[in-house]
Structure 1
Amino acid sequence: MRIKSMLQTTAVLGLAVVVGLLGVGGTWALWNVSAAAGAGTVQSANLVVDVNTSPMLTDGTSTTVALEGPTAQLTPDQPVYATLKLTNNSTATSGLTLRSTLRSDRATSDNVELSKALTVQSAAGKCADATFQATSSAVVAQGDSRTFCLRLSLSAKTPGSLSDKSATVTIPVHVEQVR
C-alpha cells in the first residue's frame, strides 16, 4: 500500500511538473515575439522669452527699462515706477507654459551708497493695481505676455549727498518651464 501511495504521489508531482513546463513554454513563446517599430521623429523647441520686445538672453545679459514718467525723480518722498513686459514666444508645438519670477529682493546697484538706501519691489500686473513685494511671479502661456511693475524707493534717511546721483539697478529675472 505504501508503494501505491508513493506511485500516486510521484504521478501527481510529475503531472504538475509537465503542466508547469507547458505553462512556461507558452510564456516563453510570448517573450520571444517581436514587432518592428517605425522610425520616430524627435523635435526640439526653442525657449524664447522677450523682455520689452527684446529677446532675453542668459548669463548676465541685461535689458534697459525706462521709468514710467520720463521726468520722474527718485526722492525719499517719491518712488519711481518702471514696467517690464515678458512675452513667451517659445516654438513648442504642444504649448510651453512658463513661470516668470522677478527677484527684486536680489536687486543690485552700481552705486554702493545708493544701494544701501534703495528698496526695489515688484508686482505682477499693472502699477496702478499693484501689491508690491520682494518677489513676484506669473505664469505665462505660449504666445502670451505678462506685465510686471517695479517700484524703486529711497529710505527717508537717505543723505542729501546722494541727490542728483545716478545708478544702474540690476534685477534678476528667472524663467522656468511649468508644462
Structure 2
Amino acid sequence: MRTKRRLQAAALTAVAVVLGLFTVQGTYALWSAAASASPGTITSASFDTALTAVNTGQTTTMTLADGSAATLTLSPAGTLGPGTSVYGGVVVTNNTNAGGQFNTAITAGQPTIANVSGGTLASYVSVNAKSAASSAECSTATGFASISTAGLVSPTVAKGGSTVFCFQVSLSTSAPSTVKGQAVNISLQLTARQLCGVPSGC
C-alpha cells in the first residue's frame, strides 16, 4: 500500500509541470482573388483570429504584430494522477473586419509531447481533443479522441463567431516513480483557413 501512495505522489509532482507547458500556436492559410474596381476609396481588411484560454481567460491574436505565430499557454483544471485526466481548451474567434461573407475553418494539429532534459515522462502522457460549441463542454469527459494526422477540423466559423477546442491530458496508470521531478513540453499548432467568401462558391 505504501508503494502505491509513493507512486501517485511522484506522478502528481511530475505532471504538475506539464500543466504550465501546454501551449497552442497559430498560423493562417488564405484564399486570394482579384477583381477590378472603379476609382474610389480603397480600404484594407485584416484576417484577425483571437485565441482565449478556457480556464484562465488569457487572450492573444493568432499572429503577433511582427508576423510571428503567437503562443498561448493552457492550464488544464483539476489534479492529474495516474489513470486520471485534466481538461482545458481554447476558444478561437473569427475577428476579421473584411466586408461580406468571410468564413474560416480552424484545424488543431497533432500534439507534440517532448521530454525536458532527457526524461521519460512523455511516454506516459497522452492528449485527446474534441471540438465543441461552448467552453463548458471542456469540463465533461465525453467525446474526446486522439487527433488524426489530418488534424481536428472545426465546423465553419462565421465572421464574429467562435469555435472551441477542448483538450484532455491523461497520465497512464503505469507511470513509474522514476518520472518524479521530470517535465514535458506539450504543444500543438492551430491553423486558421479562410473558406470561400462568396455564397456561390469559388
TM-score (norm 1): 0.67
Cα distance in 2, alignment partners of residues 110 and 175 from structure 1: 28
Counterpart position of 1:11 = none
Rg larger for: 1
Counterpart position of 2:21 = none
Counterpart position of 1:107 = 112
Structure 2 counterpart of 1:76, one-letter code: P
Give 1:68's match in structure 2, choosing from 60, 77, 94: 77
Give 2:145's match in structure 1, choosing from 132, 137, 141: 132
Structure 2 counterpart of 1:54, one-letter code: T
Cα distance in 2, alignment partners of residues 80 and 38 from structure 1: 56
Does the aligned pair in 2 maintain the 1:107–1:120 contact within 8 Å?
no
Give 1:92's match in structure 2, choosing from 93, 98, 111: 98
Cα distance in 2, alignment partners of residues 131 and 153 from structure 1: 11
CA deviations 1:30-74 (Å, max 9, x no partner) are xxxxxxx942655432111111032112644310112123xx22x
RMSD of the TM alignment (CA)? 2.3
Gaps of 5+ in 1: 1-36
Stretch moving more, 93-102 or 126-135: 126-135
Identity of aligned residues (%): 22
- Cα distance change of structure 1 residues 141 and 41 upon mapping to structure 2, 3 Å threshold: same
Cα distance in 1, alignment partners of residues 71 and 115 from structure 2: 14
Structure 2 counterpart of 1:44, one-letter code: S
Matched, 1:152 2:169: yes
Structure 1 or 2: more strand by fraction: 2
Does the aligned pair in 2 maintain the 1:76–1:158 contact within 8 Å?
yes
Does the aligned pair in 2 maintain the 1:83–1:149 contact within 8 Å?
yes
CA deviations 1:62-121 (Å, max 9, x no partner) are 10112123xx22x33111111211111011111311111111x24233535222222111
Does the aligned pair in 1 maintain the 2:62–2:69 contact within 8 Å?
no
Alignment size in residue pairs: 139
Give 2:128's match in structure 1, choosing from 121, 125, 131: 121
Gaps of 5+ in 2: 1-36, 53-58, 197-202
Cα distance in 1, alignment partners of residues 186 and 129 from structure 2: 13
Deviation (angstroms), 1:123: 0.5
Higher relative contact order (CA 8 A, sep 6+): 2
SS in 2 for 1:95: coil
